[in-house]
Each structure stands twice: as C-alpha cells, then as structure tokens.
A and B are shown apart, each in its own frame.
Chain A
Amino acid sequence: GENVEQHPSTLSVQEGDSAVIKCTYSDSASNYFPWYKQELGKRPQLIIDIRSNVGEKKDQRIAVTLNKTAKHFSLHITETQPEDSAVYFCAANSNSGYALNFGKGTSLLVTP
C-alpha cells in the first residue's frame, strides 16, 4: 500500500521565520496531496491541497510544492506566528482514490 514519510517530526522556529515540512510518497498513482493542521484535541483541518497536474500552489502565507518525478511534496509557511503552532500532517490518496494515507505528523512550535 501507499507509504507516506514525513520529516521532520518536530520543528521549532522563531516567530517571523519560515517553516518547511517535507513528505515523500511511494504510489505513483497518487494524484491528490492535502495538508492538514491539527491542534491539540481537535479535528484535522485542511489548510491547503495540491493535485498532480500542478507543481505549486500558494494561499497567503502557505505554499505547497509537488515534484511528481521524485514523489515528494513540501509545505512552506512564511512569516510564522504563534498560532501556527500545531501538528501538521501530509497525506496522499491511495491508487483507488478514496483513502488518504497520512504521514506521521510534524509538531511545529513557533516561539514569540
């Protein structure tokens, strides 16, 4: 089945700095790559997603890049704020398209 690897597992940055989280996937049939933010005790919430026909997507301070050849995608957060502190999960859909296979998560801490 699909295997999604995510790095780093923890990331600490100063407010205003950038944060980058990287994921790789194994199934070349995957064509949908969402990123979810999960605050403690809350539901995962989609922050940005990208499909395989696009190489980059940006939404204000958040951007995602996708390299299909290398099977990796990355989340970039610029001008980080303390409220960005949370666990971030990348995911890739299965070859059937239905399941989302998640990475192990990155715990991001933004210190003032």
Chain B
Amino acid sequence: EPEVTQTPSHQVTQMGQEVILRCVPISNHLYFYWYRQILGQKVEFLVSFYNNEISEKSEIFDDQFSVERPDGSNFTLKIRSTKLEDSAMYFCASSEAGGGMEQFFGPGTRLTVL
C-alpha cells in the first residue's frame, strides 16, 4: 500500500539555522499538508498546498515558514531561522482531493532546536 514518506526522521539544529524538511506524498494525490505536534500536545495544522499554491495556512505559518514542490514528487517545508519553540514533530500529509477527503500522514520528522 502506498505511503507518505518523510526525511530525515530526526533533525537537530542550532537556533537561527535554516532547516528543510522533505516529504514524498502518495503519487496520485493532489493536495499536500504540513502539520506539527509539540511533544504531548495535539496535532496542529500549518499549511495546505494545491496546484503549486498555498490553499490555506494557519496563524503558526508565519514568514519564517515556506513550502515548495520543487519537482514532481517532493514537497518541502523550510523554516528560515529556527527558534527553540519550533522543536516538534512535523508531519506531512496528502490526499487525493480537498474538502473532506482522507489525509494520509507520513511518519514525521522530529525537529530539535538547540
């Protein structure tokens, strides 16, 4: 069964550094998402992406964040200047369609900002 994959599984970085988290969505899916989960807390929506555009973003997704689909398979989340509070598990997800279709989650990237 196809799955969403993410790399790396764990990223450690120094405060102020840029990080890029990578995701490969399921191949026939058209909608892509990033969520984050701070340890022990709920999953929080960051951004959705369709047709090479951001379709929705949350208050968390400020100017420090950006997303890109650099080629036909990858979907990336960039954090320009990491802060301690960016430490979290970041999940990529994808769905065939938007507006109430099942979102399939990747295994996550644990980001630790020191």
Q: Which residues of A contact B (CB under 8 A)?
A: 1, 31-32, 34, 36, 42-46, 49, 51, 89, 91, 93-94, 96-105
Contacts and interface: CB of A to CB of B under 8 A. Distances in A.
Nearest to A45: B105
A63 to B, nearest CB: 18
Contacts, number: 65
A100 B45 contact: yes
B56 A46 contact: no
Given A99-B48, A104-B42, 13 more contacts: A32-B100, A36-B43, A36-B105, A45-B105, A46-B103, A46-B104, A98-B55, A99-B33, A99-B58, A100-B33, A100-B43, A102-B42, A102-B45
A101 B59 CA distance: 13
B10 to A, nearest CB: 11
Interface of B: 31, 33, 35, 41-45, 48, 50, 55-56, 58-59, 91, 98-108
Nearest to B100: A32
Nearest to A96: B56
Nearest to B6: A43
Contacts of A36: 43, 105
